[in-house]
Amino acid sequence: MQSDGAGQAATPPTPATRPQVVAHRGASADNAEHTLGAYVAALAAGAEALECDVRLTADGHLVCVHDRKLRRTASRRGVVSTMELAELAELDFATWKNLWSDLDDEAPERDEEHDRVLTLRRLCEVAADHDRRVELAIETKHPTRYSGLVERRVVETLRHFGWDRAGSPARVMSFSFTALQRVERLAPGVPLVMLLERAQYWPALRRMIGPDWLVGPGVEELAEHPSLGPRITRAGHGMHVWTVNTREQLDLCLELGVRAVITDRPAYVLEQLGA
């Protein structure tokens, strides 16, 4: 804890004054992203929300996978949208993170469920069953061959948990304005986050998005374009910022008063916040 210069320790920000800490694909700095193991680690670290990307399988299941193809995280050829859940369930989604784990005699025995493909429904169950409130930030990926069916399935899943109305612990994010419009029509009470990839897109998006929508700029864009954050705030939109992994990036978010920081390192960020 640092001194405030007046001989007393500075008071760390409280949950009411600091941003919510959101685990990006789980605690993905140290664990294979989007696996149950990564989310369990994030919860153990104290993450207040869990972020995930979702894609639709050929047989209609929402799975937490970022890439359209399987090469990076499952080390095989294949496209998520052309495969059924049973096929994906046979694959190892964790070994790529530590290719030498099988040779480590001191490594703890792993739970196979923690390394397999994770469905959105299972992640919702984990959040719902936790002993404290855990929120979800669900990103729908586009373009996709299934178009609006993705958002429909997301809302159906939220409705199953009673999370399709005001007060829901879940929010839906997307770089697609059209995708968020679909969610707004299907479940008007669910919070929406318009992800912002480039600062130059903001003037057009500002005129399009709803007055209560949140905005999700990348932290590097905020750093590169110092006027962007204040412009978003002046327009009346709260910010959920990705991907915040360093002290410098966190300080920028604190300066801008953002509502949530999405990080690969939830334990580190919580420590920095004095949580």
For residue 275, what pLDDT is reported? Answer: 77
**Residues classed as catalytic:** 24, 66
Which has the closest alpha carbon to 26: 97, 74, 131?
97
What is residue 17's predicted lDDT score, i.e. its pLDDT?
A: 83
Place of tokens 């997307």: 174
Other beta carbons within 10 angstroms of residue 272's beta carbon come to 18
Of 151, 153, 171, which is closest to residue 163 (Cα–Cα)?
171
pLDDT tens, N- to C-terminus, the chain (275 residues):
333 334 444 455 655 689 999 999 999 999 999 999 999 999 999 999 999 999 999 999 999 999 999 999 999 999 999 999 999 999 999 999 986 555 455 656 667 778 999 999 999 999 999 999 999 999 999 989 998 999 999 999 999 999 999 999 999 999 999 999 999 999 999 999 999 999 999 999 999 999 999 999 999 999 999 999 999 999 999 999 999 999 999 999 999 999 999 999 999 999 999 97
Model pLDDT, residue 109: 67
How much is the pLDDT for 108?
A: 61
Report all structural domains of the chain as residue ranges with CATH numbers, in order of start.
20-272 (3.20.20.190)
* List of residues 6+ apart from 151 with CB closer than 8 A: 140, 172, 179, 182, 183, 186
Residue whose entry in the numeric block shows the structure tokens 């029509």: 185
Q: CB of 207 within 8 A of CB of 235?
A: no
Indicate the SS3 state at residue 102.
helix
Judged by phi (left if over 0) then psi (alpha if -120 to 50, else beta), residue 265 lies in beta
**CA gap 36, 64 in Å, rounded:** 10
Distant-in-sequence, close-in-space partners of 264: CB < 8 Å, separation ≥ 6: 23, 24, 25, 27, 28, 29, 243, 245
